[in-house]
Structure 1
Amino acid sequence: MVEIAQVFNNNSALINLGDHKQAIVKGKGIAFKKSKGSNLETKKIEKIFYLNTKSSRENLFFLMKDIPIDVVTTTYEIIDYAKTKLHYNVLDYVYITLSDHIFGAYQRYLSDTYQESMVPDMSNQYTTEYLIASHALDVINRNLDVDFPESEIKSIALHFINAKGDEPSANDLKESETISINQIVKSVLTDNAIFRREDNGNYYDRFMIHLQYLAGRLDDQSQEDNAEFSKNLEDEMQSSYPESFQIAKELYERLQTELDKKLSSNELLYFIIHIQRLTKEKITK
C-alpha cells in the first residue's frame, strides 16, 4: 500500500514513495473513490513514472494548469520510455515542450484543423530519436484515442533532438549568465510591446522556463546542430509567422552578441514558437 498525494482522475494519481520522493501511477480504476491521504493498492498499478528531479516535479504541476492530465501522463510515459528503455539522456524542459506539442496537435485533431508535419525527415542522422518518436506516436494514438499519421513522428523526434543531454547541475549554471539572458529577453519583449498578461501568462511562464535551461546549453559542444535541417524549418517559420520570426531573430542575435556565445540554430526555432504563442500571430499561409 502507498499513500496518495493527489488524485488526477479515476485512472491516475500522484503517490508518495517516502523520503520526499513521488511518482505518477496509472491503472484502470486505480483512484476510483480515493482522495488525498488514502492508501492505494500497489497491485492495481499498471504504469509508474518516477519524478526523480526537482524540475520534473515542478513541471508536473506547471503543466496541469492548462493541459489535460491524460496528455500530461502520456508525455511522462513517452519520456520514461526514452530514459529507461533506451537510456536516452534528455533535459527536463522536454516535459514542457513535448506536452505542449501533443496538446496542440490534439486540439487541432479534434477541431479538424490538423495538418501533417512539414518537418524534414532526418531519421538517418537521428536513429534513436526517431525510434523514441515512433513509440511515442503509438502511445499517443492509444492513450488519447486519436489517429495521427506517421509524419507526426518527425515533429516528436525534433523535441528529443533539441533536448538531448545531461541536466546541468546548479554549479554548472552561471548566475550572471542567467540574469543577463533574462534582462536581454525582457528588453526585446518590451521593445516589441510583449508583456505577461492574463491571457498569455502560461505561455510567458513556459518561455521563462525554457530560458532557465539556456544558460546550461551555451557553448555546449554536445548539442548537434544540423544546418540544413534548421534552415528548412527556419524558412518555413519565417513564411508562416513573419512578425514572430523578426522578433525571435532579434532576440537570437542579441543574445549571441551581448553574451559573446554561440547558440544552436535550433534555439531560434523555439524562440519563434514561443513568440508566436505570446503574440498569437495567425499563420500567413
Structure 2
Amino acid sequence: MIIQKIFNNNAIVAKESDKHEFVVMGRGIGFKKNVGEKVEENLIEKTFILKQKDASEKFKLLLEDIPAEHVSICYDIIEYAKNILGVELNDYIYVTLTDHISNVLKMFDEGFNTPNILIWEIKKFYPKEFRVGLKALEFIENETSKKLPEDEAGNIALHLINAQGKNNSSKVEDVVHQTKMVQDILNIVKYTYNISLDEKSISYERFVTHLRFFFQRMDNVEKAENRENEDDFLLKQVKEKYKEAYKCMLKIEKYLEKKLSDEEQLYLTIHIQRVTQR
C-alpha cells in the first residue's frame, strides 16, 4: 500500500497495486511521510473506499479544508447508519454529511443553531433515520463535548434519507419537498373523510411507505403493456367497490398535477380504503 497524497498527519490517499485509490485515516499515519512511501498499516484506523469517482474527488477536496476529527465522526455515524437501517447508502453521503456536520459545528461555536421546520414530519415519517440522527448527536457530543439540538438529528436524518436514493443528483431539498407532499396527501385524506388517522396502525405505516416510494417512482414513465391491462381490469373493480376512496384518490391526483398510471391509481385507492377503515 503506497501513499499517493498527504492531507495532514492523520489523513492520506493510498493505493494498493492496481486497485482503486482510497482515503486512509489514523493517528500519525502521514506524520513525516512522503508520497511514494509505504503506508504503516498498523496505524490505519478508518478506510474510505468510494467507488464513485466524482464523490471520491469531492471527498478529497473536502479533506483539505475540514478537521480530521469531523471526518472521523461522520465515518462512525455513516457506518452506524448502514448497520441500523440495513440499506445501501450512496457514496455522496460521505461528502454531504461530512460537509454539513463540519459546518454545523463551526456555526455552533459561533452561537448559531439552524432550526428544522420539518422536525415533526421527520419524526413521524422517518422514525428509523431520526433515531440514527439522535445517536449521531451522541457520537458528536462524546467526541467534541458539543451538545447539538434535537433539530440537528432531523437534519442528519434528511441526509440519510437522501443517500438511500440511487440518483446522485438528488438533493436534500427534494426530500424536504417530498416530506411536505406526504403530509399534504394525508391531509387530503383526513379532510375528505373528516376523520383523524390512526398513526400507529399498520395500514397508516404502509400508506406512508407507499407514498415515500411513490415519489421516487413518479419520474419513471416506463410501463409494461400486459401489466397495464391487468391493472385496468382491477382498477375498474376497485373503483366500483370503493367509490369514496377512488374519489379521494382523484383529489390527490389533482393536487399532484400529474396523470397517474392505472397501477398508481389502483394502489393509492386501496391504501386510502385501508387507512380510513376502523
TM-aligned CA deviation for residue 112 of structure 1: 2.0
Residue ranges of structure 1 left out of the alignment (5+ in a row): 169-211, 232-259, 263-285
Please tell me whether the aligned partners of residues 84 and 132 of structure 2 are also in contact (alpha carbons under 8 angstroms): no
Please tell me whether the aligned partners of residues 158 and 176 of structure 2 are also in contact (alpha carbons under 8 angstroms): no
Alignment-derived partner of residue 147 in structure 1: 147
Alignment-derived partner of residue 39 in structure 2: 40
Q: Considering Cα pairs closer than 8 Å and 6+ residues apart, tell me whether 1 or 2 has the greater RCO.
A: 1
- In the alignment, structure 1 residue 13 sits paired with structure 2 residue 12: yes
**Which structure's residues are more often helix, by fraction?**
2
Residue ranges of structure 2 left out of the alignment (5+ in a row): 185-217, 221-278
Alignment-derived partner of residue 164 in structure 2: 164
SS at the partner of 1:20?
coil
Of 156, 164, 179, 1:226 maps to: 179
Alignment-derived partner of residue 56 in structure 2: 57
Deviations 1:137-193 (A, max 9, x none): 233334445332343211111111233223x5xxxxxxxxxxxxxxxxxxxxxxxxx
Please tell me the residue identity of whatever aligns with 1:138. E
Q: Which whole-Å CA distance do the structure 2 matches of 1:36 and 1:92 have between them?
A: 26
TM-score between both structures, scaled by the size of structure 1: 0.52
Please tell me the residue identity of whatever aligns with 1:105. V
TM-score between both structures, scaled by the size of structure 2: 0.53
**Which one has a bigger Cα radius of gyration?**
2
TM-aligned CA deviation for residue 69 of structure 1: 4.0
Deviations 1:41-65 (A, max 9, x none): 2222222222232233122123245
SS at the partner of 2:119?
coil
SS at the partner of 2:74?
helix
Provide the alpha-carbon RMSD of the alignment: 3.6
Please tell me the residue identity of whatever aligns with 2:78. I
SS at the partner of 1:39?
coil
SS at the partner of 1:51?
coil
Please tell me whether the aligned partners of residues 11 and 28 of structure 1 are also in contact (alpha carbons under 8 angstroms): yes
Q: How many pairs align?
A: 184
Please tell me the residue identity of whatever aligns with 2:169. Y
Deviations 1:21-45 (A, max 9, x none): 1332232223222222222222222
Please tell me whether the aligned partners of residues 82 and 132 of structure 1 are also in contact (alpha carbons under 8 angstroms): yes
Closer, same or farther in 2 for the Cα pair 1:229/1:101, shift >3 Å?
farther
Q: Which whole-Å CA distance do the structure 2 matches of 1:96 and 1:11 have between them?
A: 18
Q: Which whole-Å CA distance do the structure 2 matches of 1:153 and 1:55 have between them?
A: 27
Q: Which whole-Å CA distance do the structure 2 matches of 1:42 and 1:36 have between them?
A: 15
Q: Which whole-Å CA distance do the structure 1 matches of 2:153 and 2:105 have between them?
A: 14
SS at the partner of 2:96?
helix
